[in-house]
Every structure is written in C-alpha cells, then in structure tokens.
Amino acid sequence: MANFTKLSFKKGELNRELADFFKSMIEKGAVHALLAPMTQPEKGVMQTLVTDPSNIENIDPFAPVVPVNGAKIASSVTATPSGRKIAMVLRSCEVRALVELVKLKQANLDDVLLIGIDCFGRYENLDFFKFQEQGKTSEDFLENAAAGNTQNNDFDISAACKICEFPVPDNVDLRLCVIGTGSDAVYIESLTPKGDKALEILGLSTGDSPGSRDSEVEKLTKKRTEARDKAFAEYRESTNSIQALEKRLAGCINCYNCRVACPVCYCKECVFVTDTFRHNGDQYMGWADNSGTLKMPTDTTFYHLTRMSHMSLFCVGCGQCTSACPNSIDLMPVFRTVAQKTQGRFDYQAGRAFDEEQPLAVFNSDELVEVTGQVK
Amino acid sequence: MSEFEPKIVGFFCNWCTFTAADLAGTSRLSYPPNIKIIRMMCSGMVDPKYVIKAFLNGADGVLIGGCWPGDCHYINGNLKARRRVAMLTEILKQYGIDEQRFWLRWIAASEGTMLQELANEMTAKLKQLGPGPLNKEKTAG
C-alpha cells in the first residue's frame, strides 16, 4: 500500500514538524479546528481545542500521558455538532471508545477528520509530571520505547498499556506512525478517502510504507497479547469468587471516579446517584438488623457488578478506571477480564468496527437457544 | 440438622409465567415453596441489577420466567431478556456464581404443569449444589 507520507525531523524537532503539518491543515482549509494533546503553560499535557493556527506550536501528541480518555472529549465537542470541521488526534484506546460512543449516538464524526497515533503506552498522570520535571521529552520516550524500554527510573507505563494489544489505531482517516519508522521520521498514513483528501489539500505526495513497520507492529502486538493472556489467567484464578472480588474492592468508598473516568460508561445519569440508592435511616437500620452489622458505605460490590453489566460490552481496556481510583484499587483487570467474556459471548469486540451492532441493541428470535435450552 | 431449603427468587412475567403460576394454583398443583415470586410486567423488565442484588443478598438461585419467543405481550421483551441473561451469566460465572443457579425459562400461561415441574427441577438442582456462595445462613451443615 503506497499511502504513506514521510515526515522527517531533526533531533529535538519532532513537535515543530508536527506543528507545521497541523498548522497548514488549518491554514489550507482542510479543517477549521484541531483537537490534540498540547503542552500546557504551567505543566502537563492535555487535549486542547485550537481554532487559531498560531497556537499549534505547543502540540505534543506523542507525550506519554492520557489525563482523560479523549473519547469523552470528542463526545463533548461533537455530540451536538458545531458544523465546523475538526481534526482530532487520538490513541487507539481513545478511538475504540469513540467508535462505541458513535454507535450510542453520543458522538458524531460527520465533520471530524480522525487522526490516530501509534502508541507505546502512557505514564500515570503523576508519573508524567515527574517525567516532565526531569526534562524528558516525547522524543526520548519514543526512542527508548522503540527499543523496548519504557521504564523511567521508578515508574513505567501503566499496567493497562503493558497488556494492550492495540498499539496501532484502526478506524481512523489518518494515522501518525512511529512504530518501525526509525528515530528520525514520522509516517502519515491515509486509510480513507477523507484522509486522502486531507493529504491532497496539504499537497503531500504519498509513497511506500517504512520497511520494518509491519514486523515491528506484529512483534509488539504479540508481546502485549502474551502479557495480556498471562495477566488475565492470573487474575481469573485469584479472583474467582464474590469474596475475592470484595477483598479486591475493599478500599472502595463509592466515589464513582472509575465511572467518571470511564469513556464508555454511557448513562447520562448514573442510577447509583439517583433516588433508587438514596435510602431512609430505617432502611439502613433494617439491613443492619438482618445480621447485626452493615458495612458503610453500602453497595460497593453491587455498584461494580452493575457497572460490569452496563459497560463490559464496550470496555476497551484503557485503564482509566485504575488511574482514577483514589485508593489504588486496580480495577482495570476487574473489568477487562469480564469484558473479554461478555464480548466474546456475542463475538463482539468493542471499537472494532462502526457497523458492528452493539450486542444489547439487537436480538433475534432464533439465537442463543442454549440460554433456556428449550425448543418448542 | 434439617435439609437445606434453597431460596429461589423468581421474576415472572405477568402475561405468561405468572399466569402459569396462577393456573398451577387454581389447578391445585403443588410445587415447592422455595420460589419467592416477584411479578414483573415482562421478562424484559428484569434489570441485571435485580439479579445481582438477589445473589448478593444470599439467594441460592434466580429464575426468570418469560413468554416463548414470538409470544411476548410487548413483541420482543423476552428476546432482550435472553441477550441480557447471556451477558450477565458471563459476569456471574467469573465471580463464582455458577450458571446452574441462574435460569431463564419460557413458560406459557397455559403451562401450569410445566411450572410445577420446573419448580421441582430447580429446587432439586439447588439442593444438590448446596447453598449459594453468599447465603449467610448456610443451613446445609
């Protein structure tokens, strides 16, 4: 496939080259706005919505941090479309979550040029601050990660990223490739007519794919998949009862951060903050009477199991739930292992395709006969 | 110690299974009192939360009764229930709640005898499996 445009950069100038690329995208009218990770004036890197191209110089899409899953931000910007064309720079986990939100009609890609980036993983938010304070750059990270080393002193990429088998984003118009491209070039790959058109407006010609890309991607995917299977097997064995789950969730204080951080927790109002779960004093007393004791806050395990029944079919394994927990409960495997089973039951994979119907949105009269085992 | 008597929470559709239970009653068919029936307007109205809550509060089994495919009073509520049950079974299995404790069955309004048989069958099965993982009474020694 000859759909690659090479963007060479000198050491230390990756972000400047990318800034020029995105600047011309707005200046030449391919899009009106850009949503991409940018260095913030004080510290950190956050998704930033830019309409004036002169502000693009702070762009840093490969910064190894994802403070918020970008699918949520894409949903905020597009659920009620502005009518203006926008380019969005997202990672695989963000794109896959976004695919699910599009199906739920909580995001709309009609005016969006979706740009995915190759991803070696992200640091936890606080670790990324340390990374920045040490004066490290995204280029440093990419160079080390390409050599298989993501460890930085006392921290490494998040546990979710270590077992993420999707380093390369699909379902995008353009892809910024850094895996197997060498340390002095980014390749821009066009995957759709929308992407072709954008490159045409920018006056960029396309050529062949970087030589070792496919094998490098395959190698990384294989390594991650093996790590995933190992982690899942360990989790399933150690957490195979409600009691074991309760032990794992022991620190839960019903803050609901995990569902706020979750890109595919789709309810506009969570049932756990409605009157359904606002009980009277005598109700609590009654429950306490049952066995003489009642752990407060109540319904923590109930909450997580209910959340599984809502979002596990759409879970993309981004790990934001773990990152958001104030009590360091490692929630990612709790949801991901179940997600693998529930999605598998319907041969579904969250974020795989726009035209794959969400399992609970369709039904047939002659399917799943094994559930009841009854035939008339 | 007396024999273990499982507690089964039954969510029965108003139009079919609940009516079948009524028919069993008026026909004087006796079935085990282990099933505590909750009347729903449709098997499709059984929120997974209800099932999770029942198990967390110590139920030994949960039975959802709905209309046969094609007979749903609301056209397809039972088909939605079936997909939901398939999904929820996968979740419960991971956390040690055996799928043999969570049943979805189609029982038409005229099938009082079948309801009796089903109640017998499920009660016997749960007696064999023993108390549910969260049953705090654990009456079977």
Interatomic CA distance for residues A260 and A269, integer angstroms? 11
Across the range A287-296, mean pLDDT stands at 91
Contact yes or no for A371 and B94 at CB 8 A: no
Contact yes or no for B79 and A364 at CB 8 A: yes
What pLDDT does A264 receive? 97
The sign of the CA dihedral A284, A289, A295, A298 is: negative
> Please, are residues B104 and A372 in contact by the beta-carbon 8 Å criterion?
yes
Please name every residue paired with A36 in a beta bridge, in sequence order, or none if there are none.
A48
Across the range A109-130, mean pLDDT stands at 96
Instruction: Report the gap between the CA of B85 and the closest CA in chain A (Å).
Output: 8
Across the range A132-140, mean pLDDT stands at 94
Interatomic CA distance for residues A362 and A227, integer angstroms? 33
Using an 8 Å CB-CB cutoff, list chain B residues near A232: none
Restricting to A residues 104-163, those with a Cβ less than 8 Å away from any Cβ of B are none
Interatomic CA distance for residues B101 and B122, integer angstroms? 8
What ipTM describes this predicted complex? 0.93
Interatomic CA distance for residues A72 and A90, integer angstroms? 11
* C-alpha of A121 from chain center: 10
What pLDDT does B139 receive? 47
Q: Which of A236, A306, A376 sits opposite B68 (nearest CB)?
A: A376
Percent of all residues in chain A with a pLDDT value above 70, rounded to a whole number: 99
Interatomic CA distance for residues A35 and A116, integer angstroms? 12
pLDDT per residue, tens digit, chain B (141 aa), is 578 999 999 999 999 999 999 999 999 999 999 999 999 999 999 999 999 999 999 999 999 999 999 999 999 999 999 999 999 999 999 999 999 999 999 999 999 999 999 999 999 999 999 999 998 875 443
| Burial class for A301, CB neighbours closer than 10 Å (0-12, 13-18, 19+) | buried
Q: Which of A241, A359, A367 sits opposite B96 (nearest CB)?
A: A241
Using an 8 Å CB-CB cutoff, list chain A residues near B68: 376
User: Which H helix or E strand runs over B83?
Assistant: helix B77-94
What pLDDT does B1 receive? 54
CA distances from B138 to A343, B7, B60, B97, B127 (A): 34, 11, 10, 15, 12
Average pLDDT, chain A: 94
Percent of all residues in chain A with a pLDDT value above 90, rounded to a whole number: 93
What pLDDT does B136 receive? 81
Strand, coil or helix: A356: coil
What pLDDT does A279 receive? 92
The count of CB pairs under 8 A between chains A and B is: 98
CA distances from B54 to A117, A206, A272, B60, B124 (A): 45, 60, 17, 9, 20
H-state helical runs in chain A: 14-27, 70-78, 92-103, 125-133, 138-146, 159-162, 193-201, 213-238, 242-248, 257-261, 281-291, 300-311, 320-324, 332-345
> Quick one: tokens of A40?
């913030």
Instruction: Report the gap between the CA of B43 and the closest CA in chain A (Å).
Output: 13
Interatomic CA distance for residues A118 and A168, integer angstroms? 5
| pTM score of the predicted model | 0.94
Contact yes or no for B95 and A241 at CB 8 A: yes
> Quick one: tokens of A198?
């954008």
Confidence at A249, pLDDT banded by 50, 70, 90: very high
Return left, alpha or beta for A166; rule: phi > 0 is left, psi -120 to 50 is alpha, else beta.
beta
Residue A342 touches partner B, C-beta closer than 8 Å: yes
Using an 8 Å CB-CB cutoff, list chain B residues near A344: 90
pLDDT tens digit string along A326-338? 999 999 999 999 9
| DSSP secondary structure code for residue A207 in this structure | B
The full set of domains in chain B, from first to last, is: 8-129 (3.40.50)
Helix then strand then coil, in percent of chain B rounded to 5, is 45, 15, 40
Q: What angle do CA A8, A14, A20 make, to 5 degrees?
A: 80
Q: Which residue's structure tokens are 């009516």?
A: B19
The amino acid occupying position A160 is A
pLDDT tens digit string along A198-226? 999 999 888 888 878 999 999 999 999 99
pLDDT tens digit string along A332-365? 999 999 999 999 999 999 999 999 999 999 999 9
Across the range A157-172, mean pLDDT stands at 96
Residue B63 touches partner A, C-beta closer than 8 Å: no
Residue B75 touches partner A, C-beta closer than 8 Å: no
The amino acid occupying position A31 is V
The sign of the CA dihedral B8, B14, B16, B20 is: positive
CA distances from A121 to A11, A124, A163, A170, A229 (A): 22, 10, 10, 16, 18
> Please, are residues A104 and A358 in contact by the beta-carbon 8 Å criterion?
yes
Contact yes or no for A359 and B84 at CB 8 A: no
Residue A301 touches partner B, C-beta closer than 8 Å: yes
Using an 8 Å CB-CB cutoff, list chain A residues near B74: none
| DSSP secondary structure code for residue A352 in this structure | S
